[in-house]
Amino acid sequence: MEKRALVALVLSLVVLLFWEYYFGLYRTPTPPPAQETQQQGPTSVPQSSLPETAASPATELPAAAGTLPQERLTQLGQQFESWTVTDQLYKMQILAPGGRIGSFELMNFREKVDPNSRPMELIPSQSSGYLPLAVDLLNHQEWQLSQRPFTSQSPNRIILSAGKAPQDISLSAEIPNQVRLIKTFTFMPDSYVMDLGIQLENLSDSMLTDQMGISFYVQPYTDLKEESSYNLSQLSIFQKGSLTNYPLKDLLKKDIILRPPMDWIGYENNYFLQAVIPMEESGFQIIPRVLNADTGLMQVVYLTDNFQLNPHEKKNFKLRMYMGAKEINRLNQAGHNLSHAVDYGWFTFIAKPLLHVLNWLFKYTHNYGVAIILLTVMIKIVFWPLTQKSYQSMQKMKKVQPKIAQIREKYKDDKEKLNQELMAVYRTHKVNPMGGCLPMILQIPVFFALYRMLYGAVELRHEPFMWWINDLTAPDRLDLGFKIPYLSGGPGIPVLTILMGISMFIQQKMTPSSGDPRQEQIMLIMPVMFTVFFVNFPSGLVLYWLVNNILSIVQQYMINRQNA
């Protein structure tokens, strides 16, 4: 292989890794101009200046944005009525004040890898009192509907059973002679999907003109200071066939409004999603804003258009929600393009099929580490013929190296003649100097697809393999009681990564050399480079590359014996 071609390959690999790290992990699509607006700061606007319809220009922040309430419950330490819904997937608590969600625990996921860790909580803002599903009427905020006690005829404890019909909980609050607000939750057993129906009734003898704001309060699922750059919490919206992400830093820079139609808007990280699915194509807008930059607390308001209710008239609003893990099968079942919340960047079209295969293998192995090994074998089988030709090409190159060395020495002062003679040798012996590099180049998309999938697949979160590897989405660390600089993921040494580097070195030593000592030195640097790159990668990805190297060593050994 030409030295320049080899150097180009190594540099290309470095550029790809650099690009994916900085632009894959941190890349967020530029929000559409029609949805962005900039404001000097939140201002209070008289109620009389509220827009008459949602048809106000997209370049203006609605006047109502300055009057959106930020209601927190201050009496959480007190005893009051609540309703608990238990499903095999989650346990949810609805509190009487405001009829808001006080807790939402996932039964199949823990906050930490420790088996004794508490279930994963999707409402981390509960300690501050900013609880989701606060309903307010903007023209009558003095009614404080988001804090008023709700009552219900439903039992205080409901247990959902798979295969059974959906169950409802209806809660109501009333301002005598003014309005009655009814919230109806509809729960689908064995599903993260639930419906929310809101009915507003005008109890007065006069016309009611108002706007309704439904506030969803969200916050990073781990402490903001502990959030990994590989797993950021952010606001996302899917509309017009594309996914747009709004990290906290972007929302701090400018105020935005999001207008329909949209499939869903949600707050997510790699593993969990709280999504609101509007059931109407118009008549509302979404206004997100950051309430506390230090904790990442955010308010996302579903703001209806202005409406009017005649005396004793009722008006209904309906939303659908998805609250749970980003399990690809459940997202597909939920519909509404929620499966696009699982986004693996440029290589999603490769990563998602690999995830489906991995889940299928897990059904039979009950161990995702073993499933990764089997997936690696399957990928190796697919690439086997191509790799075989590549190794054979390198063997042919090794045989003609003496002749190539003679030509290089003879025409070292005539580059044009040197290239002509080299091409003649390649044609005569039917060898391709780049043939040995082709399998690596073709495996790069698969590598990156697995890289993104193993970081982002909730199915692998906290899943053990064996011995010290207790989380396939985290770097492998054999804890010896001390921490090594540069290594993230806790104290210990990366045993699996070191074994991967050794296997790559062995594979490199078994690969036919070009005869050029400088090229051999460059190739021997690659195991060191990969080991450094991989020390902070998820152990599942390191396991894939280790097994792939071992299979490559076996294949190279067989070829070497055939040509001995």
Do 363 and 253 share a domain, yes or no? no
Question: Quick one: pLDDT at residue 263?
Answer: 93
Do 265 and 356 share a domain, yes or no? no
Domain final position from 343, 374, 404:
343
Q: Say if residues 132 and 267 touch (Cβ distance below 8 Å).
A: no
Question: Quick one: pLDDT at residue 264?
Answer: 95
Residue 40 lies in a domain: no
Do 313 and 379 share a domain, yes or no? no
Residue 9 lies in a domain: no
Complete DSSP assignment for 176-188: TTTEEEEEEEEE-
| Side chain identity at residue 406, one-letter code | Q
Question: Quick one: pLDDT at residue 514?
Answer: 52
What total of structural domains would you count in the chain? Answer: 2
Residue 557 lies in a domain: yes
- CATH number of the domain where residue 186 is located: 2.70.98.90
Do 368 and 322 share a domain, yes or no? no
359-398 b/e (C-beta count within 10 Å ≥ 16 → b): bebbeeeebbbbbbbbbbeebbeebeeebeebbbbbbbbb
Do 387 and 330 share a domain, yes or no? no
Domain final position from 343, 362, 378:
343
Do 294 and 373 share a domain, yes or no? no
Helix (H) or strand (E) holding 333: helix 328-334
Do 237 and 379 share a domain, yes or no? no
| Side chain identity at residue 192, one-letter code | Y
Q: Say if residues 423 and 411 touch (Cβ distance below 8 Å).
A: no
Do 302 and 364 share a domain, yes or no? no
Do 120 and 183 share a domain, yes or no? yes
Q: What is the 3-state secondary structure (H, E, C) of 306-364?
A: CEEECCCCEEEEEEEEEEEECCHHHHHHHCCCHHHHCCCHHHHHHHHHHHHHHHHHHHH
pLDDT, tens digit only, all 564 positions of the chain: 344 444 444 544 554 454 444 444 434 344 443 343 333 333 332 333 323 333 333 334 454 555 666 666 665 555 678 899 999 999 999 999 889 998 999 999 988 888 888 999 999 887 778 899 999 999 888 888 888 899 999 899 999 988 889 999 999 999 999 999 999 999 999 999 999 999 999 999 999 999 999 999 999 988 777 777 677 889 999 998 889 999 888 888 888 899 989 999 999 988 999 999 999 888 899 999 898 888 889 999 999 999 999 999 999 999 999 999 999 999 999 989 999 998 887 888 888 899 999 999 999 999 999 999 999 899 888 877 777 666 666 666 666 666 767 767 666 666 776 777 677 766 676 666 655 566 667 777 887 888 788 878 888 888 888 888 888 888 888 877 666 666 665 667 888 888 988 898 888 777 665 555 566 666 677 788 888 878 878 888 889 889 988 988 888 787 777 765
Residue 29 lies in a domain: no
Residue 33 lies in a domain: no
Do 115 and 252 share a domain, yes or no? yes
Question: Quick one: pLDDT at residue 47?
Answer: 32
Do 118 and 185 share a domain, yes or no? yes
Residue 329 lies in a domain: yes
Question: Quick one: pLDDT at residue 309?
Answer: 93
d(CA 150, CA 536): 49
Question: Quick one: pLDDT at residue 28?
Answer: 39
Range of the domain at 305: 75-343
Do 501 and 443 share a domain, yes or no? yes
